[in-house]
Structure 1
Amino acid sequence: MGETNWAGNHGYAAEAVLTPRTTEEVRAAVEAATTVKALGSRHCFNDIADAPGGVLLDLSALNTGSLENPVEINAEAATVTVGGSARYGDFVGQLHEAGFALPNLASLPHITVAGSVATGTHGSGRRLQGLASAVSALELVTADGGLRTFSREADPDVFPGLVVGLGALGVVTRLTLDVVPTFEVRQNVFEGLPWTAVHQHFDEIEDAGYSVSLFTDWTGDRIDQVWVKSRVEPGAPVTALPGLHGAVPADRPRHPVAAAGVPAVHCTPQLGVPGPWHERLPHFALAFTPSVGEELQSEYFVPYGDAVAAIEAVRGLGDQLAPVLLVCEIRAIAGDDLWLSPSHGGDRVALHFTWRPRQPEVEALLPLLEERLAPFGARPHWGKLFHSSALSGHYPRMADFRALAHDLDPGGKFRTPFIRRTVFGEAGIRLQNRPPHHTP
């Protein structure tokens, strides 16, 4: 077929890719398929969005803002409803102009809402939940081609299991998100934070802003960069931030992946200049390729209280990680009640690894990395590279999610190898990958 994911490291093993333009076409395609999966922005690094031998539905033609999938802002209810193919960058400006904001955004606005929430993707902020927590309702095409709407209010027993759904429950065609009044943010970057300060003042560092990210290559005695995003309250004076526990303010804009040599113009504005939330909360500007582009990613979530110990455990691997690593981002996320959210049940700290595009070397390191993080019950990001598929013990509601999947998809139409391996724990189900440039 020749189709690949964003990074080009996974060649889809599906037999066909369809591009439905309406919800009715999505329903017809799902009903006719024996195995099916939806594609969003393709920003996953494993086979979660693949359907070997089946059909992939590229939803990019379901353009948000069209008559089929309009952006609907409900000021009275404080919500926005968007199509399943909507990228955050497609509508956040419109939301801001209407006087509203999302509480948080991921580091890149290029990803779709449906794909982001289905995999538990998040932003940064000790008191900010992952992106899926903003979802208050969703429209789902089920295995029989039916169209069902679920909401937090009407379906409280199952809704926490539907949002981070991994594509195992159906195809999401519309979502409703909670919004808040719009606000401004300033972004400051600090350099050279001593590791000793991380150990001694971790809580204070995480509380230094609305959103805080630490970037490191795990070598040396200092964190390379700390990105602090602070809310600017109306009428409050904007004062310079002199330093951060030994780190000093950057004297010019920076790119977090310094090792790749990507210009800082690809990033959102820094140096403490206030601006709209949607132009500061992401690290990367919509007009440019985010991060590096040619890269691989892994991410692991540990309980907030174990963060410093987990960081020390990974630091012990610094010399082994450095040759393959571009950068690692450390950030906190507030806990939630979504069944398969990596932050289910309590606050977490995420260790996000951006790797050089050398997959065999990365895959050789993952078991060692996961062994170091195992004492902390580390949960991998569903859409990134990880080694272990024994995940049931990490999620107390996994049995409930399996039951929900059986109820909505009794024939297993959405039960792809990834779902069988990670959710149902079927032994011997390997990662399905066709060489990226293979033509059948």
Structure 2
Amino acid sequence: MEHNWAGNVAYQAREVARPRTVDALRELVAERSLVRALGSRHSFSEVADGRGTLVSLEELPDEITVDGDQVVVPAATRYGVLAQFLQAKGLALPNMASLPHISVAGAIATGTHGSGDALGGLSTAVAGLELVTATGGLRRVWRGDPEFAGSVVALGALGIVTRVTLAVRPSFEVRQQVYVDVPWTDLVADLPSVFAGGYSVSVFTDWVGPAQVWVKSLAAPTLPFRPADGPVHMLPGESVAAVTEQGGVPGPWLDRLPHFRLGHKPSAAAELQSEYLLPRESAVEALTRLRAMAPRITPLLQISELRTVAADDLWLSPACGRDVLGVHFTWKLDVPGVTALLPSVEEALLPLGARPHWGKVFHTTEVAPLYAQWTDFTELRAHHDPKGKFTNPFLDRLGGVRP
């Protein structure tokens, strides 16, 4: 039986197919009645699962090509592999997630993001997509096309993405400085200044004690907190060999923007994850509510991470139409405990406008009111997949999505 990376999802699919050519993939999709794409399996939700055929794209041709200020990437390419390719050509992505292990198409489809006040999620780098349609045809959509904004963060509901075109920039250097023992009152007193203190900023908290602030900056950061004496891991007891270099030493973007090195274990592995992205103007109120819930949260928690993401125009992106603060929970692998707690977390956050991350564990099924273009997406899906070939139980639970 196939599982996701964390082991909390056992896929229900009857088979896992591994086509070696796009033509073979097209034929397979045309023949099957239920099909879902399977990425790097780092989603903690059941977004990738399905009762028919799961399709792994890892055996498709893996050639990456550069075209001016864009790069064309096979869907299954891991971000760490892409980053190494681009660096060798003097190029870079504007942002990366905490893990370089995730696949390009999977991260884009679920609205996965890095951090940065002025930086959008990973999907905002997309300039074009190629995907296999329900009939086995090839559909290409480009930024500026009427359907583009609904086709990028699409939860695998519009077809099987085969290639992604991403905007790139010249390579650049980044410093990473970690501040420790940051008092909670100092943090929330001027939260916008903390997140404006670098190119990409992450705050780690257990909701009880002081915080850590990880600043990835283009110049030496100047936050008024105590720098760490040496390399630190955000999780006590974990090896610092797994994290990217700290101490303010300049280095290539790909070796600083992710928290973890590509060749090492990301995070602590035995875990669940949840994340909620809410308007930045609600940030302090949200943090105050969660801090008051610490007696219930902390016993189930490994660590929480706070990050900012810039607004975008992608219909199902959690940052669509607004700058957001992401509140991320890395839980212990306690499925009953986390399942019981999430309704209370959502009771605190959803009234503030929070949207759950599609690839993480969440409780609510009432997501339609959270997205202004939900009906537009439902109509787009009905047009491209009228028989529901790409549906799955996860999508069926989200009212109004099924065509």
What is the 5 A alignment of 1:10-409? 10-52=9-51, 54-62=52-60, 68-75=61-68, 78-153=69-144, 155=145, 157-220=146-209, 222-223=210-211, 225-232=212-219, 244-245=223-224, 247-258=225-236, 261-409=237-385
3-state SS of paired residue (2:315):
coil
3-state SS of paired residue (1:140):
strand
Distance 2:291 2:250 in 1: 35
- Give the number of aligned pairs: 402
Q: Percent identity?
A: 49
Please tell me whether the aligned partners of residues 378 and 401 of structure 2 are also in contact (alpha carbons under 8 angstroms). Answer: no
Distance 2:339 2:21 in 1: 39
Distance 1:425 1:219 in 2: 39
Please tell me whether the aligned partners of residues 260 and 266 of structure 2 are also in contact (alpha carbons under 8 angstroms). Answer: yes
Residue 92 (structure 1) shift: 0.9
Distance 1:278 1:107 in 2: 11
Residues 425 and 174 (structure 1), Cα distance of their counterparts in 2 relative to 1, 3 Å cut: closer
Q: Which moved more, 1:90-99 or 1:129-138?
A: 90-99
3-state SS of paired residue (1:61):
coil
Letter in 1 for 2:124: S
Residue 425 (structure 1) shift: 5.9
Distance 1:186 1:346 in 2: 28
Residue 37 (structure 1) shift: 0.2
TM normalised by structure 2 equals: 0.98
Distance 1:263 1:202 in 2: 29
Residue 375 (structure 1) shift: 2.0
Residue 32 (structure 1) shift: 1.1
3-state SS of paired residue (1:298):
strand
- Once the two structures are superposed, residues 134-159 of structure 1 have per-residue CA deviations (whole angstroms, 9 ceiling, x without a partner) of 00001010001111111013x1x110
Distance 1:397 1:367 in 2: 25
Distance 1:269 1:69 in 2: 29
Distance 1:423 1:280 in 2: 40
Please tell me whether the aligned partners of residues 16 and 55 of structure 2 are also in contact (alpha carbons under 8 angstroms). Answer: yes
Distance 1:316 1:29 in 2: 52
Q: Which moved more, 1:373-382 or 1:121-130?
A: 373-382
Please tell me whether the aligned partners of residues 117 and 309 of structure 2 are also in contact (alpha carbons under 8 angstroms). Answer: yes
- Once the two structures are superposed, residues 167-205 of structure 1 have per-residue CA deviations (whole angstroms, 9 ceiling, x without a partner) of 000000000000111100010000011111222211110
- Once the two structures are superposed, residues 338-372 of structure 1 have per-residue CA deviations (whole angstroms, 9 ceiling, x without a partner) of 00000000100000000000111000000000001
Please tell me whether the aligned partners of residues 193 and 244 of structure 1 are also in contact (alpha carbons under 8 angstroms). Answer: no
Residues 185 and 179 (structure 1), Cα distance of their counterparts in 2 relative to 1, 3 Å cut: same
Distance 1:58 1:94 in 2: 22
Distance 2:300 2:188 in 1: 25
Distance 1:36 1:289 in 2: 30
Over aligned residues, Cα RMSD in angstroms? 1.2
Letter in 2 for 1:106: A
Residues 164 and 364 (structure 1), Cα distance of their counterparts in 2 relative to 1, 3 Å cut: same
1:436 paired residue number? none
Gaps of 5+ in 2: none
- Once the two structures are superposed, residues 66-86 of structure 1 have per-residue CA deviations (whole angstroms, 9 ceiling, x without a partner) of xx34111112xx001100110
Distance 2:371 2:309 in 1: 17
TM normalised by structure 1 equals: 0.90
3-state SS of paired residue (1:196):
helix
Distance 1:55 1:93 in 2: 32
Q: Which moved more, 1:385-394 or 1:195-204?
A: 195-204
Residue 423 (structure 1) shift: 5.2
Distance 1:423 1:164 in 2: 17
Distance 1:165 1:25 in 2: 23
Please tell me whether the aligned partners of residues 153 and 314 of structure 2 are also in contact (alpha carbons under 8 angstroms). Answer: yes
Please tell me whether the aligned partners of residues 212 and 226 of structure 1 are also in contact (alpha carbons under 8 angstroms). Answer: yes
Please tell me whether the aligned partners of residues 340 and 398 of structure 1 are also in contact (alpha carbons under 8 angstroms). Answer: yes
Distance 2:195 2:399 in 1: 32
Residue 250 (structure 1) shift: 0.3
Letter in 2 for 1:61: E
Residue 421 (structure 1) shift: 1.3
Letter in 2 for 1:316: A
Please tell me whether the aligned partners of residues 230 and 247 of structure 2 are also in contact (alpha carbons under 8 angstroms). Answer: yes
- Once the two structures are superposed, residues 24-57 of structure 1 have per-residue CA deviations (whole angstroms, 9 ceiling, x without a partner) of 11111111111110001000112110112x0000
Distance 2:82 2:103 in 1: 11
- Once the two structures are superposed, residues 382-410 of structure 1 have per-residue CA deviations (whole angstroms, 9 ceiling, x without a partner) of 01100001000000000000011011101
